[in-house]
Structure 1
């Protein structure tokens, strides 16, 4: 199946790198018009005025970083796909947390860039997102991917969150409030100012001396529920059970 040629934006504050990336992309037959700028401010103007399919972003730039720009773009009604192009390996986990399609290291090879374009084209098929998305986590310098359905509960750690599964826990650089909003439709609810719980993993609800707690996971873990969230949680659990076949 043929695809319309991609409209591409390239953002890099280093002019030689910007020119090289633009040159390589313009040689790709899958790419149509290429916009290029060394200014994040100018990039936002282009994105508002033109329909862009994919943005190739450097990460370390003055003003808005590439990661911060990607977060802004995620709020657009029809956000472009994101590919990061950087000399630094250390931001890979953060890149995938903002749903980047690819992460290309400098100096950019033509064959590696072609693979990134292939991934972008595959994403324009608009196939439905998987029902069980994966979350990139890092431990000991190794990046792995968790199925969201395996996460029993989430604990706040300042601007970070700790994801708990039966196999252990993993710290990710995402605030609890963000996960609460993004994962609400997947059955994650707040039970305390510092805790989200997956309704699918709740095995028991315990009431003792007016205090509520839930038991999740295997081996079982008991989590306290604050008074303000107790009634809402019990109602949600009842709804969740009645919807199951």
Structure 2
């Protein structure tokens, strides 16, 4: 299960602040809600503690919501930002600051729930949390745990996911998966193949080239990727 969120709510109007905090507290994906009535106060809170998401108004005295979002964008690990405002005209500016959502007042619980979903999605999986990949075959959608995938093979603009039980074609290029799944231990062994490091059973030299044994299959490692793979698998440099 995804870890619940600690969120910070900022609005200079107390009724709007209390209503937003109340709605967020009712959401089962939210653990704690802290409230501030100014962007300056919010900055003090953010310097003292981490939060998982910030919900803030745009128009506030002094430092505006857009100003605060710009400051947050320079944080080493900026929290996802959701703007909650009565004004549509700032939406373009908000999304240029990489806001995950822009919710108009008066706030409806259903619409706020969608914003929370986008925050969860923007944060990505927590450490130790597996990802389920939807795959289609014969009009049926099934789900494959990413941890079960041994290697991934490029097929044009598609990618084939290999598991111990079989393979599945997904409409995602290998280059995208290489970037998205690198934190989960998927590395290139040549331009059209990724392997999952936890599934590598052997790495050996075979007639001047290296091969890895993954899921019972021997896969050739391109020369340009050999050194990096050895270092990742053995923890030593060459």
Match of 2:43 in 1: 44
Matched-pair contact (CA < 8 Å) for 2:2–2:125? no
Question: How far apart are residue 33 of structure 1 and its match?
Answer: 1.0
Whole-angstrom CA distance in 1 between matches of 2:98 and 2:38:
22
Partner secondary structure for residue 3 of structure 1: coil
State whether structure 2 residue 25 is matched by structure 1 residue 26: yes
**Which runs of 5 or more structure 2 residues have no equivalent in the other structure?**
127-238
Match of 2:9 in 1: 10
Match of 1:105 in 2: 104
Spell out the pairing of 1:74-89 with structure 2 (5 A cutoff).
74-89=73-88
Q: CA RMSD in A?
A: 1.2
Match of 1:70 in 2: 69
Change in Cα spacing, 1:91 to 1:126, as seen in structure 2 (3 Å) is: farther
Match of 1:115 in 2: 114
Given the two structures, how large is their TM-score scaled by the length of structure 1? 0.50
Partner secondary structure for residue 29 of structure 1: coil
Whole-angstrom CA distance in 2 between matches of 1:43 and 1:4:
23
Whole-angstrom CA distance in 1 between matches of 2:5 and 2:32:
7
Residues 125-160 of structure 1, C-alpha deviation per residue, up to 9 Å, x if partnerless? 169xxxxxxxxxxxxxxxxxxxxxxxxxxxxxxxxx
Whole-angstrom CA distance in 2 between matches of 1:56 and 1:75:
17
**Which runs of 5 or more structure 1 residues have no equivalent in the other structure?**
128-245
Question: How far apart are residue 39 of structure 1 and its match?
Answer: 1.6
**Structure 1 ranges of 4+ moved more than 6 A:** none
Question: How far apart are residue 99 of structure 1 and its match?
Answer: 0.2
Residues 33-76 of structure 1, C-alpha deviation per residue, up to 9 Å, x if partnerless? 11101021110011111111110010000011101100000111
Larger Rg: 2
